[in-house]
Amino acid sequence: MSSIVKWEPFEDLVSLRDAMDRLFEESFIRPRTWLVPFEGGLAVDVYETDDNVVVEAALPGVKPEDIEISITGDVLTIKGETKDEKEVKAENYIRRERRYGSFCRSVSLPAGLDGDKAEAEFEHGVLKLTIPKTEEVKPKVIKVKAKK
């Protein structure tokens, strides 16, 4: 059975004040993530395997000797510097979007990692950091025995 509902034409209209409040809140208090550039300009992927946590970061144009990696507690910090090696005068640029200078990115890691045994590889502009898990946090398989 359906019921009849009275239509209120002005119910769906939002007052100008409500619209301005929502605009202010979304822009300044809780900015949308697609409007905010990622932290420090360094994008990272963090994923987990059975034995390790792996962090990958794209660092095009950065030399391995210009990268500094540290783990303090459960926080991984990647620092580095991109240098502009070309000698082009500023007035000759039509567009300049690549960023030069120092960068720093800190990422919280899950607990139970052995930072002393971490290994870092740098190939084709991608930094791959592998951090092994401690034995306490590795998944354990328990076999079920059937009783006769």
- In this predicted structure, which of 49-58, 67-76, 81-90, 107-116 has the lowest mean pLDDT? 81-90
Contact 89, 107 (CB under 8 A): no
Sheet of strand 44-48, all strands in order from the earlier edge strand to the far edge: 44-48, 52-58, 126-132, 119-123
| Cα separation, 29 vs 26, whole angstroms | 6
Task: Judge if pTM exceeds 0.75.
Answer: no
Residues in the chain: 148
Q: Which two tokens stand for residue 21?
A: 């409040």
38-132 is classed in which CATH architecture? Answer: Sandwich (2.60)
Domain ranges of the chain: 38-132
* H or E element that contains 16: helix 16-24
